[in-house]
Structure 1
């Protein structure tokens, strides 16, 4: 930044240093030629800082056109008309446009399914680097922001290869994502491609907000994120802004609500689900109504509104029983067991979990059995039946480990850490919270929960400096995610630790 500012203000003499200019310099990736051209154009036009910022937002790299033989555009076009580039064939220009379109560039590990019909892909990409059009960064072939801005097509309709790439992304998104079912592990591709996919969907829905295909893909994208990379999405406001009669709105709202839930935004999650429930009731879709009731029961449990959640779970269960949907019954009974447990109705919770295990065994639903063993462990822990609790957790651990269900592995180790914490066996609590953490690397919210428990263990061990550090990190995570309830609880813990440090 310092070098970029020095280069810019040596030429530009029409204003003081400004954050607006700093922002533009960052967007230019501190590219020397671009900075020199920008300063030259601004100086000759006698633009003040605000005018320059306005022209940049309006024209982007168009601002960088100075004299014909010195312009940024001319420098790029010279590379594109060089013998080295022309020898790469007609695919090269399309491929460089696709790289420019995506914020991350393209993933070298995914070339075969992104560009299956493009020959000599690796050779072409090597030549792009040789011509200084691209560079490699963390496994991606990408380019500096000014080049991206200049070379990028406006959308899939403006580039045949980008249109084909879009189709490959959409095909990958069409795989149903459920733990324990085919395609679940393969769907981890989203963890490296999520930024590109979101940008693609944002561009398409901006060009054509009524595109049914794009909104179907949007819902599927959010479901992939929920299981493999939970985070907020910039598409959220667009989803909420869709007309209520849009065919894809309910499904997109469901998936958006689950992402909000995954990062701890529970009140907002509930509001979206209430809206979705209204839409499905109006459409008379019983099964979808049951699904939303099930999601609402989870949201209300996390908001400690247990009675409301139990009522919704029972209504969902009645619908699934009436339609003989065993998988729906299993999922709802699991939710009901967790709700009843949270409401301290331990016997009723145990009955619901046992019913779920029987039904899960009928359809070989190991994920459902794993969840039930976990809630049974929680019930036994609350009853003071430690050995029984450990047996249930270990059974769940064996099931989850064989299928590498990261979210289940996290919560099982998390529960074991809490069990040993309650008993004052802090060494064991440390072991399990450290075992839980690796399963939370793609989920900042549950990582925050793990750090909070570790802070509580360290606090009880009177290691206040370390406890404060963990609690501060956890609070920072909850604040970034907007998880108000968790932030309040963690803030009280932090205040308590600091109070002890000051005694």
Structure 2
């Protein structure tokens, strides 16, 4: 007799609620939808959950409490083998088609269950380059209806995910492969944007399981720093990394413990402290940007303490400078000025080893001039020639940009034209080429370029070109929904 495999699809939301209400009618639909969506509206799981509620004579509140505390257990209890989700899954895993694929089957299922988004089918071989049958295993899951494709991601139904997570140890060699893959590709914005939920989940697990290994700690802190940086610059989103990073113990690693290697251990300890400080600084900018203000303040304060602990005042001053730039962009100039003055204060009355680098001090001074120009202080224009001569070897693009506009506002047309001409002569071309490479209509730098060129054209008497550029900017702004 030839057997035919029938696929049992997930139910529609209304059909799933109707099926559950047939057994257990005394629960509000809005509450029920939340429960059943966690099961991906899987028919057998709906049946098992309803049967458990009836057999235990639970009220709706008792059912919710039981679900929160023992999800996987509720889906295992059936009247017979055919009614047990556990038996159904184990029967599939012990079938000849899976057994011939070896242990990779179990390991890959655990990884897919562990990752909230599932795993990218496109990058499957790149993630696990040493596993020759990885794609065969993934295909087998889909054929057996244990997994399905959600866009590019291979993912599991909620009940199967719950079962795998509660019955199998997730800490496999494949998990280390996932960590290595994300660490290697963390600077690639398209991967971070597509898989940020997975990456954050992996990072939190990794941060909690470094086991005191120095290299593992350095790798995860570096990866977390870049993750925060990419999100901040491309897709600012709320994150939950702070508790795990804060709890990471970088003072007591197991690599070196002998007196003979005391100085080497001290050096490594400083490196770890400095990396944790940098990671917390970077995370604080992201959280500040997305409105996680309390956690952002805690992370920034902790990062300051760590920087002071290792005596790295240059690191501390550099991050004051970065935060000052962010405050300036948001128009919070008083906070920005306070940060910059504090940063400069670190270089006074200190021993030579703790002094700020020339680069850091210059960055701070340049940003202070920019703030004065943005705030419209005309006296800044008087000292501008001397300042520009002193720092002529640095990129003065934004100094000239804001000085030009301040000069325009105060009717110093010659000075304004000179500033704009210097921009065009000393790097505007390169800046504009970079803008052109990212020719996104919503890119504010593209607008700045158009506005700057319009003002330059106006100063040169080319009013037609100036009006055309201004009209283009206005057209883009009017099309924006926000």
Equivalent residue in structure 2 for 1:308, among 326, 335, 338? 338
* 1:271-316 deviation line (CA, Å, top 9, x unaligned): 6435533442343222222223313433543422154244245447
Q: Distance in 2 between matches of 1:131 and 1:313?
A: 61
Is residue 24 of structure 1 aligned with residue 35 of structure 2? Answer: yes
CA shift for structure 1 position 78? 1.8
Secondary structure of the residue that 1:54 maps to in structure 2?
A: helix
Do structure 1's residue 6 and structure 2's residue 18 form an aligned pair?
yes
Deviation at 1:128, TM superposition (A): 1.7
Deviations 1:234-292 (A, max 9, x none): 12344456789794653332012121344366787566435533442343222222223
Instruction: State the distance in 1 between where 2:105 and 2:290 align.
Output: 41
Seen in structure 2, the aligned counterparts of structure 1 residues 279 and 148 have a Cα distance that, compared at 3 Å, is: same
- Specify the SS of the correspondent of 1:52: helix
Contact 1:21/1:49 (CA < 8 Å) preserved in 2? no
Name the structure 2 match of 1:480.
Answer: none
Asked if 1:96 corresponds to 2:109, the answer is yes
Deviation at 1:199, TM superposition (A): 0.8
Contact 1:417-1:433 at 8 Å conserved across structures = no
SS at match of 1:30: coil
SS in 2 for 1:109: coil
Deviation per residue, 1:135-164 (Å, 9 max, x gap):
112211112222212123789863232233
Aligned equivalents of 2:55 and 2:23: distance in 1?
Answer: 10
Instruction: Using the TM superposition, give the Cα deviation of residue 53 of structure 1 relative to its aligned residue in structure 2, in angstroms.
Output: 1.0
Shift of the 32–433 alpha-carbon distance from structure 1 to 2, 3 Å rule, reads farther
- CA distance in 1: counterparts of 2:190 and 2:399, whole angstroms: 27
CA contact (8 A) 1:156 1:166 kept: no
Partner of 1:232: 238
2:191 to 183, 189, 192: 189
State the TM-score, normalized to the length of structure 1.
Answer: 0.69
How far apart, CA to CA, are the structure 2 residues paired with 1:414 and 1:340? Answer: 23
Partners of 2:36 and 2:82 in 1: CA distance: 23
Distance across 2 between alignment mates of 1:218 and 1:326: 29
Match of 1:283 in 2: 310
* 3-state SS of 1:141 partner: strand
Change (3 A) 1:270 1:381: farther
Picking from 58, 70, 79, the partner of 2:69 is 58
Counterpart position of 1:203: 205
Q: 1:335 to 1:399 in 2, by over 3 A?
A: same
2:372 matched residue in structure 1: 340
Shift of 1:381: 2.5
Change (3 A) 1:87 1:267: closer
Q: Residue deviations 1:78-125, cap 9 Å, x none? A: 221222222333322211221111011111232233101011333332
The 3 A distance-change label for structure 1 pair 413 and 220 is closer
Verify: 1:413 aligned to 2:441, yes or no: no
Question: Secondary structure in 2 aligned to 1:148?
Answer: helix
Question: Which structure carries more helix by proportion?
Answer: 1
Q: 2:284 — aligned with what?
A: 257
Give yes or no for contact 1:291–1:316 (8 Å, CA) kept in 2. no
State the match for 1:477 in structure 2.
none
1:135 counterpart SS class: strand
How far did 1:49 drift? 1.0
The separation in 1 between residues aligned to 2:388 and 2:440, in whole angstroms, is 19
Change (3 A) 1:113 1:53: same
> Given that residues 244 and 279 in structure 1 are in contact (C-alpha distance below 8 angstroms), is that contact kept between their aligned partners in structure 2?
no
With over 3 angstroms needed to count, the CA separation of the structure-2 counterparts of 1:91 and 1:274, relative to structure 1, is: closer
Aligned partner of residue 196 in structure 2, secondary structure: helix
Query: Using the alignment, how far apart are the partners of 2:310 and 2:276 within structure 1?
Result: 12
Structure 1 329/382 Cα, relative in aligned 2: closer, same or farther at 3 Å? same
Name the counterpart of 2:406: 382
TM-score, normalised on structure 2? 0.72
Deviations 1:165-192 (A, max 9, x none): 223333444xxxxxxxxxx5x4542222
Equivalent runs, 1:213-228 vs 2, <5 Å: 213=216, 216=221, 217-228=223-234
- TM-align CA RMSD: 4.1
Distance 2:103 2:172 in 1: 13
Change (3 A) 1:265 1:155: same
Aligned with 1:119: secondary structure? coil
Within the alignment, does 1:122 sit opposite 2:151 as a pair?
Answer: no
Contact 1:260 1:266 in 2 (8 A): yes
Partner in structure 1 of residue 257 of structure 2: none
- Alignment partner, residue 105 of structure 1: 118
Call closer, same or farther: CA 1:355–1:41 in 2, change over 3 Å.
farther
What SS does the corresponding residue of 1:344 show, helix, strand or coil? Answer: coil
- Greater Rg, structure 1 or structure 2? 2
- Count of equivalent residues: 418
Alpha carbons 1:134, 1:143 under 8 Å: kept: yes
Q: How does 1:386-465 map to 2 (within 5 A)?
A: 392=423, 396=428, 398-399=430-431, 401-402=433-434, 404=437, 410-416=443-449, 428-429=469-470, 431-432=472-473, 454=477, 458=478
